[in-house]
Amino acid sequence: MKNNVILLTAFIAFFAAPVLADGDDDEKYGLEALMEARRAGHVLPLITILSQIHPITGDNVVDVEFEQDDGRYKYGIYYLDDKGRRREVYMDVQSGDVLEDELDD
């Protein structure tokens, strides 16, 4: 358990860097926008989201994106499934609900 906490802390620190837009229609936000939304109460803490999604992703999360799509904030969480395929699950950042879980193209 202690190793999981250390790993999760390192993961959060690593992915707290700004996220750059990659040409998708969705807007991607960096750390500043995420922290502002968090302070305003619009976003659940990432640690909460990762805990909720752990039954799906296991310990196989490889990337996290903070996005806004049609005025709705969401996390795009990339992970490797049990067959080694990269998948993306979208989570609503206010409710923690899973919006989509699909293979990453």
Give residue limits of the domains in the chain. Answer: 2-103
Listed in sequence order, the residues at least 6 apart from 61 whose beta carbon sits closer than 8 Å to its beta carbon are 11, 50, 77, 78, 79
Instruction: Check if the beta carbon of residue 38 is closer than 8 Å to that of residue 73.
Output: no
Q: What architecture is the 2-103 domain classified under in CATH? A: Roll (3.10)
CA distance 88 to 57: 9
pLDDT of residue 4: 54
One pLDDT digit (tens) per residue for the chain, 105 residues: 555 555 555 555 544 433 433 444 445 556 777 778 788 887 888 889 999 999 999 999 999 988 878 777 889 999 999 999 999 999 998 899 999 999 987
Q: Is the pTM of this model over 0.75?
A: no
